Amino acid sequence: MTDRPLPAGATIGILGGGQLGRMLSVAAARLGYRTHIYEPAANPPAGHVADRVTTAPYEDLDALAAFAEAVDVVTYEFENIPASALDALEAHRPIHPNRRALTISQDRLIEKAFLRDLGLQTAPFAAVDDAEDLAEALAEIGCPAILKTRRLGYDGKGQARLNGPEDADTALAAMAGAPSILEGFVNFSREVSVIAARSATGEVAAFDPGENIHEGGILRTTTVPAQLTNAERTDAVLLAGKVLNALHYVGVMGVELFVTDAGLVVNEIAPRVHNSGHWTQNGCAVDQFEQHIRAVAGWPLGDGSRHADVVMENLIGDDIDRIPDLAREANTAIHLYGKAEARPGRKMGHVNRIVTKG
């Protein structure tokens, strides 16, 4: 794996059949590989562009073993894969990015502690298992603060905001007994993210940071270039490299950052391709999906060169009805995910608007 690339025609197994798996699958094909998708839900978007699909739950250890035997290497499009499933897979094939990256990113408390131990800035945080912990944490961190379950949670789910100590009981109840973490708010001017990659041979490459706008806890737009000073831009790339190297990581990682007067604060890391990196599809010769496949397949990485300014906009729920208008826009690339039904908050696709210099 580390000394020579996966041979042409080999099969890359992808856990998760959503839009990220779909775009990974297309990138793998572009490099001459086949893909095999493992996904519990029927008719996954990634299945439309994959060579094979296994439909089975993550609890089906036989299906996992058969899947692993049918592929040459395993990667994933999401981080919440049960440990037992990882055990079953790892008995047969290597998984990239590695187990430690998954363990860290599956638990907000472990993730924050890992980042702090690396010398990086995070929001103030404290573990909360019960009312007593929460009272102590509030005393230390202050309000406003946000209580989150340590595990799972996505796009603003499993979170409760506390404007004062009087919100403690309601917030704790919303956690439904799950081990949690209280996080203080960070006073930031903007949120950016760095999509960075590390190869099997330890090479690191980063794309230009993008500037993110969220609405209702869901990413709305990413704009490159982000409004950053040169120093911030350098810091962003260096800290991403620090995280990747510390984990002996192989693959693409999304690193979300807050820009503050006191420097960059790490919001969270995602051990996978990331929504805020979709702009690379139309701004770079090697996009984040191919970069991930390159890393996983033992190729040299693309250097992250960007040849165009891009604004990525997510198409969420009813936004899909705007397609006829979007289709008439010049320099606008449409990427739909092939999902059958538009539901509120559901990511249906995105557009990349290429900003040409006039």
- Binding site annotation covers 191? yes
Distances (CA, A) of 208 to 73, 309, 326, 340: 28, 10, 26, 33
SS3 231: helix
SS3 237: helix
State the nearest-atom distance from the C-beta of 84 to a second copy, in Å: 31
- Binding site annotation covers 106? no
State the nearest-atom distance from the C-beta of 258 to a second copy, in Å: 31
Q: Provide the 10 A C-beta neighbour count for residue 250.
A: 27
Tokens 């230009």, located at residue: 208
- Binding site annotation covers 98? no
Distances (CA, A) of 30 to 33, 36, 95, 117, 346: 7, 15, 21, 39, 27
List residues near a second copy by CB under 8 A.
5, 8-9, 22, 25-26, 29-35, 47-51, 282, 285-286, 294, 299-300, 302-303, 305, 307-308, 320, 324, 327-328, 330-338, 340, 349, 352, 354, 356
- Binding site annotation covers 112? no
CB nearer to a second copy: pick between 148 and 294: 294
State the nearest-atom distance from the C-beta of 191 to a second copy, in Å: 26
- Binding site annotation covers 159? yes
Nearest by Cα to 24 from 56, 5, 46: 46
Residues 52 and 36 sit within 8 Å (Cβ to Cβ):
yes
CB nearer to a second copy: pick between 213 and 342: 342
State the nearest-atom distance from the C-beta of 220 to a second copy, in Å: 20
d(CA 75, CA 321): 33
CB nearer to a second copy: pick between 33 and 114: 33
CB nearer to a second copy: pick between 47 and 271: 47
- Binding site annotation covers 192? no
Binding-site residue positions for ATP: 108, 148, 153-159, 183-186, 191, 214, 267-268
